[in-house]
Amino acid sequence: MSTALSVTEFFAQLWKDYTQITPQAQVIHDLFKESDGTVINDHVAFRTFAGTPICLDNLEPIILSLGYERQDSYRFVSKSLRAHSFIHPDPEQPKIFCSELLVEELSDDVQAIIQRYTAQIQVQTLAPSVFWSGRHWEMPSWEDYQAVMAESEYGAWLLAIGVRVNHFTVSVNALTSVDSIEAVLTRVKAAGYAVNSVGGEVKGSPQALLEQGSTMADQEVFTFAGGNEQRIPTCFYEFAKRYADAEGVVYQGFVEANADKIFESTNAR
């Protein structure tokens, strides 16, 4: 599969789409750019529905076409998710984390709701632009959104927001003004942004070779089917610090226990 987009152009398009519904990201990015000159993106993440034309297995070739290779696979049993991470041979390029909701593991009622919307997805030749394509179905009703939310925050978010980058991630390793997640989060909170405290503000440890923290998602008013206007979470900004292993190699993977808590950055407050 060929693409006219370079990796740099791909991430520029993602950032443009992301900051439109995540204004906090541009503000925080500029805050660190002012003190550090450059802000490096560690990784981005996407969500999708299994068993559909835009499932993880169908999105993977698009990621590979950008020069990436699959790095590892993950399973989040309590959230009914599976995921792959991808890494680029150019270490300057961000990693990609892509997950999908295993709809068949949810209750029959919630499966029926989700399938009513995902049945609207058109079978199509996928291109990199799918990653900022938004909803491939009509906006759900507020009642359907709430019913899915009761079982899967991930699924409700995806029904309303669609396929688009869920978060960008500041590489703390590349910052010069601070050298810890704690210091980063202190600055973020001082700027007036809420931080995800599920499982502690800092997820992971130096022993796990990865520490992560994140803001709570921005919120925006959406008009649900039937005209019901509601303010719901959109996307968030993450921060990651990576550590070297016993051989001195800086860890480039992901830690399931960390990611499980990071997913909750899109919970309603």
Work out the average pLDDT over 15-39: 97
Predicted local confidence at residue 1, as pLDDT: 40
Q: Any idea what the Cα angle at residue 176 is, between residues 171 and 178, rounded to 5°? A: 80
Within-domain flag for 247 = yes
Number of domains within the chain: 1
Within-domain flag for 217 = yes
The pLDDT mean for the chain works out to: 95
Give the tens place of pLDDT for each residue, 126-164: 999 999 999 999 999 999 999 999 999 999 999 999 999
Within-domain flag for 187 = yes
Predicted local confidence at residue 26, as pLDDT: 97
Within-domain flag for 133 = yes
> Can you read off the two tokens belonging to residue 16?
């443009």
CB-based burial label for 25 (10 Å; 0-12, 13-18, 19+): buried
Within-domain flag for 2 = no
Predicted local confidence at residue 3, as pLDDT: 43
Predicted local confidence at residue 269, as pLDDT: 65
CATH number at residue 43: 3.10.180.50
In the predicted model, is pLDDT for residue 90 greater than 80? yes
Q: Tell me the pTM.
A: 0.95
Question: Which residues constitute the domain of residue 133?
Answer: 7-266
Within-domain flag for 1 = no
- Residue 215 DSSP label: B
Predicted local confidence at residue 263, as pLDDT: 80
Within-domain flag for 157 = yes
Phi then psi for residue 63, to 5 deg, are: -65, -45
Within-domain flag for 189 = yes
Amino acid letter for position 134 = G
Q: Give rounded-to-5 percent helix, strand, coil for the chain.
A: 40, 25, 35
Amino acid letter for position 236 = F
